[in-house]
Amino acid sequence: MNENAYEASDVALMGLALEEARLAEADGDVPVGAVAVLAGAIVARQHNRKEAWADPTAHAELLVLRDAADRLGRWRLPDVTVYATMEPCPMCAGAMVQARVGRLVYAVPDPRAGAAGSVFDIVDNPRLNHRVTVLSGVLHDEAAAQLHRFFARLRREPAPALSASG
């Protein structure tokens, strides 16, 4: 979709999420970034830190939800929009439902584990207690190119040797 079809604020805020994704990549993590926004103001910015923290739950979306809840002093976030460079996985989509996030904007779908409409639709499941409004495709080409470059580089580089315990 043409970027002119999206609100300028959505494009600008997704640009900030892409900046966060670049920080993740610089740390050797999958380049995914997230930004939480309340009434046009940035509440939190985060990026994937799974590798840096050796934590399987250190996804950008979970970290941005934690920071936003901490800064706002509440766990319910119905007036918050989360911008993510990639469609959330089931864990992150479930956290968004639990946090009652009002809106999710993401750049690229995740055809392997997307949970906002691609593989699963956790954020809009009528059996759950909350539904998240979703807008997809904002800065799609930029986010897709970033992910493509990252995974192409990984395929070229030799995998690190696993320790006896790993």
- Look at the alpha carbons of 122, 127, 133, 137 in this order and tell me if their dihedral is positive or negative: positive
Q: Is 20 a catalytic residue?
A: no
CB 95 within 8 A of CB 65: yes
Closest among 20, 38, 166 to 99, alpha carbons compared: 38
Please list the residues that pair with 134 across neighbouring strands: 104
Dist CA 150 CA 162 (whole Å)? 21
- State the catalytic residue, choosing from 25, 61, 87, 157: 61
List active site positions: 61
